[in-house]
Amino acid sequence: MSDQHRGIRTDVQELLATLRAYVMQETVRPLQGLGRYIIFGVLGSICFSIGAVFLTLAAVRSLQELTTVFEGTWSFVPYLAGIATALCIFSLVLLTIKRDGRRR
């Protein structure tokens, strides 16, 4: 009999508590996990980009320092090699992304 006489205020409070718990369970907690996933993805892409820049600079500097062929009018060739290295890295990244997309 007490269940029938609780009143509408108690029913509304229970409804709001249940709704609040449901929203937390279905939206907030998954978004927190997604936030961690995005943070690690952004940090990984930043580290990879820095590594790619250093690899490109290493290709340019090694051609400039280790060879004497690229002096004078041929001094632009190491920069072309650096651009080619960057394009190779970029194409490998794109191939990896496309290959991962096909698996799913």
- Residue 2, pLDDT > 60, answer no
88 part of a folded domain = yes
Query: How much is the average pLDDT of 50-66?
Result: 90
Indicate the SS3 state at residue 4: coil
CB hemisphere CA count around 49 (13 angstroms): 6
Predicted TM-score of the model (pTM) = 0.59
Domain encompassing residue 15: 8-103
Contact present, 89 and 52 (Cβ < 8 Å): yes
Is there a domain that residue 1 lies in?
no
3 is a domain residue:
no
Report if residue 51 sits inside a domain: yes
Q: Is residue 37 part of a domain?
A: yes
Answer whether 78's CB lies under 8 Å from 63's CB: yes
In a domain, 92, yes or no: yes
Q: How many domains does the chain have?
A: 1
Q: Is residue 2 part of a domain?
A: no
Asked whether residue 57 carries a pLDDT value surpassing 60, the answer given is yes
